[in-house]
Amino acid sequence: MKKIVLMAIGFLAIFTTHAQNYPHRSNVLWVTEPDHQDWLYELGDEAKVAISLYEFGIPVDDLEISYAVGPEMLLADTEGTVKLKNGKAEVSLGTANEPGFRDCWFKAELNGQTYKHHVKVGFEPDKLEPYTQFPDDFVSFWEDAKAKAAECPMVVEKEFVPEYSSNKVDCYLVKIQAYEEGQQVYGYLTIPKKEGKFPVVFAPPGAGIKPMDPMKHVFYAESGVIRFDMEIHGIRPTLDRETYKEISRSFGNGENSYLVNGLDNRDNYYMKKVYMSCVRALDFLTTLPEWDGKNLIAQGGSQGGALALITTGLDERVTACSANHPALSDMAGYLGNRAGGYPHLNRFNDMLTPEKVNTLQYFDVVNFAKLIDVPVFMTWGYNDNTCPPTTSYVVYNSLNTEKDSYITPINEHWVSEKTRRVILDWIKSNVK
């Protein structure tokens, strides 16, 4: 079953890396309304968007707006200007002859400041198929990798964390040896403080090298679900923020990113260790005396959504999966002249070489999605430029299992607190 939810239609005024549709304490607000309620069109249809711009809640009149329209994440093919009349205007986004999304960027100069904004609409995205190929030896490659990683002894250190615990939840900092001896990953384990056996949620992290906050999802344990929030780099999460920033500057960004480390060879790629560490986390979680022995759910967003789906495809112990706007999805899609997945390797010189594309096939979410045979819940927004909706649709369309979607078109790369609760409700509804 497919659920489509339209949230508010208002849009951001100042676009940044961490954009918000309703900018905090801004005097200016864009409102854009596609002429199809669900923001979706058939191939060949013309898409139109009505625009309004407000200052102090008052419509701005007789102001020229410039715009640029083009395929999602690619160069614009149409540019122009339009003038607000009675506070409103309309722009055509054109049409598409192939499934995908078109993006329209707006810019306005008001009282000496520049305000930007964008909106995407889709054209039959339910027909999108992956560009990424499925290697003949995909399954055997990962079976061999799991067998080798399993030879590493599991050594666990578990430390009670009083500052994250309460009368409802016990929190522990856990260190697990994974992949090879001497290598480890960390995580915060939150357990309901009451008698009983509980489902377990495995929650891998979003991209980057940054501190962890187990309180963000403490409501899981408060509602009777064990949760393990994991980091993937072997960096103790109690380090201060400035130290994390220094580490991130060293190997967390751009061409120095861990996401491109060793990409020329599938056996040397950094993410191989990460994927196997996720399996090792399940080894630990299934030993917990508080686990109900049946329900093991993978859940995450962005890179975490990717790792949740990947771990589900790798390990039959996972009984359900929830993923928000997954990264690492159809990453070579740019070679098909359409949006590809985070980390958008086309941005780096010579990154999508044949050798790297070959490696990516073994690590791309779309190929793990094809192996999943348990219920999957996905949520994503259309205005996301970090993990574009094209790639979320490609993953969702690749799933051949019981699946459900919760689509929030206005969203960029974030989910609301309401959506977080919807995810937990779905997880609890799939507990056996």
Q: What is the dihedral of CA 191, 192, 196, 202, to 10 degrees?
A: -40
In 214-328, where does DSSP find H-type helix?
Answer: 218-222, 241-251, 270-285, 303-314
CA 120, 414, 4, 325 dihedral sign is positive
- CA pair distance 412, 95, nearest whole angstrom: 22
- CA pair distance 407, 319, nearest whole angstrom: 23
φ/ψ of residue 31, rounded to 5: -130, 125
**Residues 221, 169 contacting (CB under 8 angstroms):** yes
**Residues 325, 381 contacting (CB under 8 angstroms):** yes
Q: Give the active site residues.
A: 302, 384, 413
ω into 343 cis (within 30 of 0): yes
**Residues 371, 400 contacting (CB under 8 angstroms):** no
- CA pair distance 19, 23, nearest whole angstrom: 8
Bridge partners (DSSP) of residue 321 are: 298, 376
- CA pair distance 273, 233, nearest whole angstrom: 9
- CA pair distance 227, 201, nearest whole angstrom: 5
**Residues 27, 42 contacting (CB under 8 angstroms):** no
Residue type, 229: D
